[in-house]
Amino acid sequence: MTHKLSDPVAPAADPIDFDMFLKVDIRVGTVVEVEPFPEARKPAWKLKIDFGSGIGVKKSSAQIVEHYRPDDLIGTQVAAVVNFPPRQIGPFMSEVLTVGFPDEQGAVVLTRPDRPVPNGARLF
């Protein structure tokens, strides 16, 4: 039986060492702008996320329309991988990967701190 990455019952991935984990730079930022992304193959929002002075404001395409409206997102802190290369998604260049977990139907639930933290803070 094969599992999709978004499958909540998939077995754990192969072990990695701690140095490999440290290579993935996951930071927190505040959503400052949300726009529709009608050109996306799957429903998505175009986000601008402020990661503070060290990283700045970055763009992300996020397939989160099932659970989040633009008004819900503005001012919300979210987690994102900031050191992947930019990725062209249709006419939009996504600069960071906003991360979350699938709910039981596979819709994304955002990963975010339960208390405010400084923009740009790194996950460890």
Interior/surface letters 86-112, b for 16+ CB within 10 angstroms, e for the rest: eeebeebebbbbbbbeeeeeebbebeb
- State pTM to two decimals: 0.91
Mean pLDDT of 60-69: 97
Q: What is the predicted pLDDT for the residue at 9?
A: 72
Mean pLDDT of 87-110: 96
Which CATH architecture describes the domain 22-109? Beta Barrel (2.40)
Percent of the chain with pLDDT over 70: 94
Q: What is the predicted pLDDT for the residue at 38?
A: 94
Longest CA span, the chain: 46
